[in-house]
Structure 1
Amino acid sequence: MDSISLNSETGNLSINSSWLNESSPMIPNFYLAIPLIYSVICAVGLTGNTAVIYVILKAPNMKTVTNMFILNLAIADELFTLVLPINIADYLLLQWPFGEFMCKLIISIDQYNIFSSIYFLTVMSIDRYLVVVATVKSRKMSYRTYRAAKTVSLCVWIFVTVIILPFIIFAKIHDEYGRLQCVFVFPNPESMWWQMSRIYTLIVGFTIPVSTICILYTMMLYKLRHMRLNTNGKALDKAKKKVTFMVLIILAVCLFCWTPYHLSTVVALTTDIPQTPLVIGISFFITSLSYANSCLNPFLYAFLDDNFRKSFRKLVECRTS
């Protein structure tokens, strides 16, 4: 669950209660700070993503293809922030009191959080690329409809569900030193299975989608540059440029928040790291940064999308009046 201590034998991230009794003052400080940070992420994420979901569902002018994908991003973030209090309780109690069903449910939502955001961003990047190609060739995209975006979004959720099935299967309650923990319980040899799970997450949850996105944006920039040379830069209107820029910024923030998490996988696979206070602190920071992505996206929409701000104001004014 929480990226606190890496156990190379079980492959799980867990809290060692003996750290709380160590002489270093850093450990108690970590122990007190992390629930506070997670609580802030939870409160901000719930408020922001609820606002995004409400505006897109209620405002008629927000029902666009891009906003359909943004809606699903917000739903994924909302799900994660809804269950974050359970993660906080698990952290504070130093054991899992909620049973095996809740263990599988919470771990599945954690895994949805890892995979769904990057794959919806991949779909959004594909959509932006197709828009640019169609504009360059002066073609109409009759198939690019709000209904089609709903179908694509459903396919993404099904695809991500298939990806995370192995994690749901291996999520179990395990007795560690007299404390029940919600962890991944792998068959023997556990270390090999743990390494395979980390490589699986790294490749499927980061390398493949990020490589796809990078290729798409490289091709898109090439076509835009070529288009400017031949059409004096008039083929893309201002609105399309703004949407493309917003998708690019959302992607950049996602990569900023999640890249350290996936880089830590590489380090964990290649290096035997001693659990010093500094390493524990870095682990706290990396986990908090990945969690923070769930509450940052609503602010990006508010800053970058004029339609979102106007629709939000109208809805607030209507409810107030």
Structure 2
Amino acid sequence: MNISETMILDYDGPTTLLLDQPLLLSSPQSTQQCDVFYEEYPDPSSSVYAIVPFALFYSTIFMMGLAGNFAIIYVTLKHRTLQTVQNMFILNLAASDIIVCLLSLPITPVTNIYKNWFFGSVLCRLIPWVQGVSIFICTFSLGAIAVDRYILVVHPHTPPLSKQGALYVTVILWSLSIIVTIPYAVYMYVETYEGICGCFCTEKWPNPTSRRVYTMVVMIGQFVLPFIVMAFCYATIFSRLRNRAKVKLRKMDACSNALESSRPPPSPAPPTKNGMTEKSTDLRSQLIDPKGRGGRHRILAQTRRTTMILASMVVMFGLTWLPHNVVSIIIEYDDGRTMFSWFDHDLSYLINLFTHSIAMTNNIANPVLYAWLNPTFRQLVIETCLGRKPRRNVAVEQKFVRSMVAKSECTTRLTSRAQSPLKEMMNGESTMLNGIRNGSPEQHQLVPSERSSPVESIPSDPEPSEKPGGNLIYLEETDAFV
């Protein structure tokens, strides 16, 4: 049986093993001395100048990817504050990244460099299938996270997803991934060839057309559709958050003008024994600064931070996965075998290694973008590694106090024009701070007046709760991610 090519499977699609001449399938009676393929048909990927850099790079990704994703799983399962519905998708993503690190990172580079399959006929079917499932789970989870964020921000009145619903979604994602990648388990075989040492794990389809159609299905399902979903969801989220930030700035200006107009003329404060007037003024200026640097700069800074994170999620996914998918498609449809040839040297393995290594960096980027940038998660990881008990997130609590006190005082000033606003505000601040210390700020919020006010005439979208939560991706004062 004459053949002109064999296929060494990569985790998300086939990579063609190009041969310069037809080879014959070896028979059990064959006693001809064999040659090592990469010695008989050398290419740049077998050079020590390629092996050493790739080995170092893959080792770094392997260790960092395992450490980061295991940290997400361990810390999330250990602390109940992180065990939310939204974080189920993060755990799903971390689990798939770990599988990719354990299977794709060691096996694919070794197979591409040595052009040989060392793992037997059973694993020839099993490993490619598990590799494909893990990659699809990874990209499907990224899409599910984007859709979940989209519903939370753009449609805040939609009933939130329950834990049972999130479990159903997870089961559906795993089922789809298993079904789509079944051909890897069906059409993978171990082949040997006359005169060539070792064996090859190859794809043997009924016809080339079926293989090419499946390659396109893999690329669309694994890259194109998730990328479109992520780009649409995060672009819409960015637009909605930007509009909310503008509304908050307008409200802040209206509050500031109202407070300035209702403020009585300055008069010397009565002397106190312990300087309580000065301390109260300092506390007031720290908690409420609608016109100064605190509020406006904080909103603008969080908006910029949100923009950077949303853009990074989409750009990182596109940059890491696009090159490898493009190379796989080119190799599949390059019948002339000329696209990656240079002075009679086959560069397909070297290019495939390069694009594969880029795709594997996604296993490091996911823990950083979806978990490590969260201050609560970062603090819990550090304290867990140091063996300390978790502390309260004081910074988030202070933001919550500032936001609620500022809103309450602004609304109260605009509606009731109380004769003693400073006294009322300080009483509210004291109650609020006591509530925070007791761990239940929602029970001690200042209740704004129900009367209409100029601020309420400014249109705005309903927003998610500003109370700090345990999600690895959550919304703060300006609905900023992480």
| TM-score category of the 2 structures, normalised to the smaller one | 0.7 to 0.9
Residue matched to 2:16? 6
Does 2:166 align with 1:152? no
User: Taking structure 1 as reference, are residues 57 and 250 closer, same or farther at Cα in structure 2, changes over 3 Å only?
Assistant: farther
User: Taking structure 1 as reference, are residues 64 and 245 closer, same or farther at Cα in structure 2, changes over 3 Å only?
Assistant: farther
User: Taking structure 1 as reference, are residues 6 and 98 closer, same or farther at Cα in structure 2, changes over 3 Å only?
Assistant: closer
In structure 2, C-alpha distance between the alignment counterparts of 1:117 and 1:268, rounded to whole Å? 24
TM-superposed CA distance for 1:29, in Å, is 2.0
User: Taking structure 1 as reference, are residues 167 and 279 closer, same or farther at Cα in structure 2, changes over 3 Å only?
Assistant: closer
Flag the structure with more relative contact order, 1 or 2, with Cα contacts below 8 A and sequence separation at least 6.
1
In structure 1, what residue type is equivalent to 2:384? L
User: Taking structure 1 as reference, are residues 151 and 248 closer, same or farther at Cα in structure 2, changes over 3 Å only?
Assistant: farther
Picking from 95, 103, 106, the partner of 1:75 is 95
Residue matched to 2:447? none
Does 2:365 align with 1:296? yes
TM-superposed CA distance for 1:107, in Å, is 0.6
Does 2:341 align with 1:275? yes
Residue matched to 1:310? 379
In structure 1, what residue type is equivalent to 2:79? A
1:64-103 equivalence runs, <5 A: 64-83=84-103, 84-91=105-112, 94-103=115-124
In structure 1, what residue type is equivalent to 2:65? G
1:27-38 equivalence runs, <5 A: 27-38=47-58
Residue matched to 1:61? 81
Percent identity, aligned pairs only, is: 24
User: Taking structure 1 as reference, are residues 246 and 27 closer, same or farther at Cα in structure 2, changes over 3 Å only?
Assistant: same
Residue matched to 1:184? 203
In structure 2, what residue type is equivalent to 1:298? P
Cα-to-partner distance string for 1:30-73 (whole Å, 9 max, x where unaligned) = 24443333232222221221111111111222122332211111
TM-superposed CA distance for 1:81, in Å, is 1.2
User: Taking structure 1 as reference, are residues 92 and 223 closer, same or farther at Cα in structure 2, changes over 3 Å only?
Assistant: closer
Cα-to-partner distance string for 1:236-274 (whole Å, 9 max, x where unaligned) = x98x97789756533432222101112223433554424
Question: What TM-score, normalized to structure 2?
Answer: 0.55
Higher strand share: 2
In structure 1, C-alpha distance between the alignment counterparts of 2:106 and 2:332, rounded to whole Å? 30
Does 2:67 align with 1:47? yes
Residue matched to 1:143? 160
| Greater displacement, 96-105 / 304-313 | 96-105
TM-superposed CA distance for 1:280, in Å, is 4.1
1:246-265 equivalence runs, <5 A: 246=309, 249-265=312-328
Picking from 132, 141, 146, the partner of 1:120 is 141
In structure 2, what residue type is equivalent to 1:205? Q
Residue matched to 1:105? 126
| Greater displacement, 246-255 / 197-206 | 246-255
In structure 2, C-alpha distance between the alignment counterparts of 1:77 and 1:110, rounded to whole Å? 10
Higher helix share: 1
TM-superposed CA distance for 1:312, in Å, is 0.8
In structure 1, what residue type is equivalent to 2:312? I
In structure 2, C-alpha distance between the alignment counterparts of 1:306 and 1:122, rounded to whole Å? 23
In structure 2, C-alpha distance between the alignment counterparts of 1:144 and 1:40, rounded to whole Å? 37
Task: Answer whether contact 1:4 1:283 (CA < 8 A) is retained.
Answer: no
Task: Answer whether contact 1:246 1:305 (CA < 8 A) is retained.
Answer: no
TM-superposed CA distance for 1:171, in Å, is 2.0
Task: Answer whether contact 1:174 1:185 (CA < 8 A) is retained.
Answer: no
In structure 1, what residue type is equivalent to 2:162? T
Task: Answer whether contact 1:4 1:280 (CA < 8 A) is retained.
Answer: no
Moved over 6 A (4+): 240-245
In structure 2, C-alpha distance between the alignment counterparts of 1:255 and 1:300, rounded to whole Å? 14
| Greater displacement, 310-319 / 74-83 | 310-319
Cα-to-partner distance string for 1:194-249 (whole Å, 9 max, x where unaligned) = 32222111222222222233233344344445556667688xx98x9778975653
Task: Answer whether contact 1:246 1:304 (CA < 8 A) is retained.
Answer: no
Residue matched to 1:212? 229
| Greater displacement, 87-96 / 68-77 | 87-96
User: Taking structure 1 as reference, are residues 151 and 307 closer, same or farther at Cα in structure 2, changes over 3 Å only?
Assistant: farther
User: Taking structure 1 as reference, are residues 228 and 243 closer, same or farther at Cα in structure 2, changes over 3 Å only?
Assistant: closer
Unaligned runs of 5+ in 2: 1-8, 20-35, 252-297, 390-482
Unaligned runs of 5+ in 1: 10-14
In structure 1, C-alpha distance between the alignment counterparts of 2:369 and 2:242, rounded to whole Å? 26
In structure 2, C-alpha distance between the alignment counterparts of 1:159 and 1:243, rounded to whole Å? 32
User: Taking structure 1 as reference, are residues 167 and 210 closer, same or farther at Cα in structure 2, changes over 3 Å only?
Assistant: same
